[in-house]
Every structure is written in structure tokens, then in C-alpha cells.
Amino acid sequence: MSGSTARAPDAYSIGRRLSLLLAVQTIVGLGVLLACIYAVNVMLFKSKHEEQLQNYAKVLVDIARAGEERGGLPEALAKLAWSAERRPGTYMEVQDITGQVMYRDPPPAFDVAARSSKSLAFDLPLTGTDGWKGRVWLDCSQDARTGQRMALLLVAFVIAGGALAGWGTFWRVRCSLRPLIDVADQTRAIDVRRLDQRLSLAEPVAELQPVIDQFNGLMGRVERAYLQLEGFNADVAHELRTPLANLIGQTELALSRERPASELADTLASNLEELHRMAGMVNDMLFLAQADRGVKARRGEPVALSALVHQVLEFHEAPLGEADLSVEVAGEQLAAVDAPLIKRALSNLLGNAIRHARPGTRITVQLDPDDGEGVRLWVQNQGEPVPEHLLPRLFDRFFRVDSSRCELDKPHHGLGLSIVAAIARMHDGRPLAESTPALTRIGFSLMPHASPEAA
């Protein structure tokens, strides 16, 4: 229906589902097993009845022959009548070849036509008879009732076994899932004020430990990202507070009394400079946000990186001259890159090197192969070394090694090396930094661009 929201599927219980499945499997398994036992017992009963009937038939033939030897056919029939009292639960008839009944026992106490009665026909070879046939019936009602009781007991055993297996499985599953419930409780207790919490179990579970390790790793990354975001927000507020304070102070000072147009023009020019600085900072932050979302560089045809370096050097001729620095370009590499981005990264690296190089020294731009696959671009200068513990933080946003100079160096707002790292990631590379007492090298790597055919 239009405008209706899709209903989320109802959650199911693992314990109940496993209990039900195991109960059904138990019922089926026990049912098949006990059905086989019942069938075997039925076969044993049938075999016993056949054996009893054959024994009765043999005994009756022997009795009839013994009676015939003593007194002829009447004595044989009298012996059969005499034996009827001594074989309860049976009934016998004797017929001649025409089907006429020559002898039958007194009416039995059971129904010979019932399914619980079994019969056996046999020959009665007596002298003076022509193909007499006998048939003896056996009352099997007691065994039939025993079989019925056995069937009911077996069905009850199957149902009870299934119920017991289901209940036992549900209880065991609940006990076995207790660690999972504990993990859920621990997860529920984590909030933005307790990001340092990690999941743990008193007794490690092999099936859950990989999930716990992955979750704890995820929480570590979330905590670092949250702390970095908090620090970034604080840095942004700090960086914007100074130019805003300058703008407000200069504007209030200009408005405090009547001033000539020349002073107002100077104030506007100063305010414009601060506004340009703020605009540059905002543009850099937007660029970093795009890079964080995974935007890739638009690569063109392979170009000579040294040509890009010389173009950037032309832009920095004046700052280099003012700082009494010379530049050397070493190496030559071809790479498919986004030329404007590479020139921006090189410009940031050169600007950083110019700020920290000792006057009268040389800055070297080094182009090297990266393990035979990519390219490394280094900008090295001679100056104060960067402490080893600060090298990993060089590419953090708003990070400065010498924070005491930040107010004196207004064009530098601490995002230059962060942009270098972002441009390196956009080219599937990484930022690089090394520092010794002799020189400091900062750069980045570029990995080759995978062509659509290769992909």
C-alpha cells in the first residue's frame, strides 16, 4: 500500500527453534526405532503362533492315530474330544472331502472369526477316511492386547522422549547462550560517555571470541575517531576564534568614532585578509571532508613529475629568495596523477620546508621509485629535527610541532600536511615522514592507477 512503512520481520528465539527441531528429530528417530522394535515383536508373536498351531496340529494327528489303533475311527474321534478339555484357547474342526463336518470341539470361549484368532489347516490321515482335513484355531487375543499395550507405551515413550529432549535442549541452549546475553548486556551499557569500555567474558568462548575481538577493534576505531572529532572541533573553534576576534575588534574600533576614509580602507583591507584566511581554512576543511568520504583522484595520462615540481617552484621563488634558500630536483619519474592535486601537495610540502629550513641551506625534492610499483615524492630540508614521537602526528589536522609560532605564522593554519596525506590517499598512497639531526624528509607515495581492463 502506498505510503505504508515496511514492517520489520519478527525476531525468533534460537533456543525455541533448536528445541523444536531437536524435539522433532528425537520424535522421528525414536519413532522409527520403536516402530522397528514393535514390528520385530509382531513378527515374533506371529512366529510363536505359527509354531504353536503346528505343534497342536502334530499332537492332534498323533492323538487321532493312537485312538484309531485302539478302537477304530470312533475311538479316534473320542480321543479328539477328550483332548479338547486339555488344550484351552483352541478350537478344532474335522471335515471330509465334501466339506461335511465330521467332528468339532465344543463352542470355544473366543470368536474364531476375530482378527486376533489364528488358524492352521492340516491333513488327518486315518484309515477308512478319504482325505479328511482338520483345522485348528488358536486364541491370540492376549498377545494382541499385549501388542496394543506395547504400541501405546512406545508412542508414549516417543512423545515423552521428544518432550524431554526439547525441554533439555531449551535449558541447555539458555545456559550455553548466557555468554551471548552477557555480551548483549555489556554492549547495552556502552554509550558516548563510556567509549573506553570493551567487551569481555569471564570464560572465553571460541565461537564468540572472534566477534568480541572485532567489536572491540571497532570500538577502538570509533573511540579514536570520536576523540579526533572532538579535537578537530576544538581546533576549528580555536582557529576561527582568532580571526573572528580580530574582525570584531577592528570593526568595533573603526565604529567607535569618526574616522577618515583611508583608515576605514585599511580596516577593510585587514578584515578582507582575515576573511580570505577563514575562507581558505573552510575550503581546506571541505576538501578533507571529501577525501574522508573516499573520493579518488581523477588521473590523466602519465606525466613527468619533475615538470610539475618546476611549476610549483616558480610559484615559490619569492619565499625561497626571502628565506635565502636554494632548491634541487633529484630524480625523474612518470606517473598517471591528478596534476592539480599533486601540485597542491608539493606546494604544501615546499611551504612547510621553507618555514622550517635554516637560512642558506638547500631544499631537495627527491623523486624515487616505490618498491618498483609506485613513486615516492620527498621534500627534504635542513633544520630543527622533529622529535620521533611527533612524526606520526605530523599529518593530523591543526597539528604544529612549534605551537609558539602559530600566531606569528598566520597563513599557516595547520592543515597543509593533512591535505598532503589526503591527496596521497586519493592516489592510493600514504604520507611519509623521517627526521634526523641532519635533515627532515616529508613526502608521500603514489601507487599506480589500475586500468579498467586490469580490473
Q: Which residue from 326, 227, 344, 330 is spatially nearest to 284, judged by alpha carbons?
A: 344
pLDDT at 433 over 60: yes
How far, in Å, CA of 127 to CA of 125, rounded?
7
Over the stretch 76-130, which tens digit does the pLDDT of each residue have?
888 888 888 888 889 999 988 888 888 888 888 888 888 888 999 998 888 877 7
How far, in Å, CA of 258 to CA of 270, rounded?
18
Mean pLDDT score, 48-60: 91
| Average pLDDT for the chain | 82
Q: What is the 3-state secondary structure (H, E, C) of the chain?
A: CCCCCCCCCCCCCHHHHHHHHHHHHHHHHHHHHHHHHHHHHHHHHHHHHHHHHHHHHHHHHHHHHHHHHHHHHHHHHHHHHHHHCCCCCEEEEEECCCCCEEEECCCCCCCCCCCCEEEEEEECCCCCCCCCEEEEEEECHHHHHHHHHHHHHHHHHHHHHHHHHHHHHHHHHHHHCHHHHHHHHHHHHCCCCCCCCCCCCCCCCCCCHHHHHHHHHHHHHHHHHHHHHHHHHHHHHHHHHHHHHHHHHHHHHHHCCCCCHHHHHHHHHHHHHHHHHHHHHHHHHHHHHHHHCCCCCCCCCCEEHHHHHHHHHHHCHHHHHHCCCEEEEECCCEECCCHHHHHHHHHHHHHHHHHHECCCCEEEEEEEEECCCEEEEEEEECECCCCHHHHHHCCCCCCCCCHHHCCCCCCCCCCHHHHHHHHHHHCCCCEEEEECCCCEEEEEEECCCCCCCCC
User: What domains are there in the chain, each with its CATH number?
Assistant: 14-171 (3.30.450), 298-446 (3.30.565.10)
pLDDT confidence tier of residue 379, bands split at 50, 70 and 90: very high
Contacts of 275 (CB under 8 A, 6+ apart): 243, 247
Do residues 102 and 66 lie in contact, with contact meaning Cβ atoms separated by under 8 Å? no
Q: What percent of the chain has pLDDT over 70?
A: 91
Helices 209-255 and 261-292 meet at what angle, rounded to 10? 170
pLDDT confidence tier of residue 51, bands split at 50, 70 and 90: very high
Contacts of 224 (CB under 8 A, 6+ apart): none
Predicted pLDDT at 413: 64
Mean pLDDT score, 36-58: 91
Q: How many other C-beta atoms are found inside a 10 Å radius of the C-beta of residue 421?
A: 22
pTM for the structure as a whole: 0.53
Predicted pLDDT at 11: 67
Q: How many other C-beta atoms are found inside a 10 Å radius of the C-beta of residue 143?
A: 19
Over the stretch 318-350, which tens digit does the pLDDT of each residue have?
888 888 888 888 888 888 888 888 888 898 899
Using the structure block, give the residue that is written with the C-alpha cell 600566531.
407
Query: CA of 339: how far to CAs of 283, 343, 423, in Å?
Result: 19, 6, 11
Predicted pLDDT at 405: 43
Mean pLDDT score, 366-374: 80
